[in-house]
Amino acid sequence: MTAAPAVETRSFRDLRAFAASATIPAETHGDPYLASRAALDLPAGPVSIHLVVLPQGRGRVEALPDDEFLILLDGALTLEGAEGTTQLAANQSAVSVKGTGFTWSSRDGARLIAMRRIGSPDAAPAIIPIDESAALEPSGAPLAELLVGPTPSCRNFTDYRSTDTEFVCGTWDSTPYHRLSMAYRHYELMHLLDGSVTFVDGAGRTGTFGKGDIFLVEQGAHCSWDSREHVKKVYAIYRPA
């Protein structure tokens, strides 16, 4: 009898650990911003995650092929486009919209994580910084039937929403809560600004992430959520309509 092929459980992925172990190809062609990349092993589909390694100096991207959320891991990065200049320090984030052209520069070199939404709709070119200090407004809570304990108080600010509403980036916070496992029909990248959260996936694997961690929950994952203190995060979500 032939054994059935193993089915990979979709789960959460530690992106700082990915960045620490990823290898950039020895030979690249084109500007380093688009070429000097290592891809996270995700299924072919609407989202890709890359480690981007930029050398000291500057370069030019004529037109970004898709929307990208980016978070700087280390170094400093300046992005200059027709719409203005964005400067990022370590752990700061921005969204570059499809079609945007820009010059990048880095005094000492930089590493960043880029989440690309493949097949982005057309939109006005822009580079939009994520404002971690933006005033948050009340937002929806998890489904009551999935909660163990009190309903949390959640708040949100959206910095960017694609024209088809499927790619959304911003900042969110919440009081503590425990939510039972649910199916993720979306991809979500999270950067924790405060607090910690523990996930348990469909295979029983447990992972705890704390302040400063960057991680991805994959589309198709089944994960619970348990946060026992106030949590604040920057997020980038691709959710199909």
Question: Rounded to 10 degrees, what is the CA torsion of 191, 195, 199, 205?
Answer: 90
Task: Indicate if 137-238 has the same CATH topology as 12-129.
Answer: yes
Closest CA to 190 of 161, 175, 168: 168
At 146, is the secondary structure helix, strand, or coil?
helix
**Which of 155, 138, 179, 163 shows the shortest CA–CA distance to 235?**
155
Mean pLDDT, consecutive 10-residue stretches, the chain (241 aa), reads 51 97 89 96 95 97 97 98 94 98 97 98 97 98 96 98 98 98 97 98 97 98 97 98 90
Q: Which residue has the tokens 């600004």?
A: 193
CA 162 to chain centre: 15
Residue 12 near residue 214 (C-beta atoms within 8 A): no
CATH T-level topology, domain 12-129: Jelly Rolls (2.60.120)
| Token pair for 38 | 């290592």
Q: How many residues does the chain have?
A: 241
pLDDT of residue 29: 87
| Stated pTM of the model | 0.94
Domain layout of the chain by residue ranges: 12-129, 137-238
Which superfamily, per CATH, for 137-238? Jelly Rolls (2.60.120.10)
pLDDT of residue 8: 67
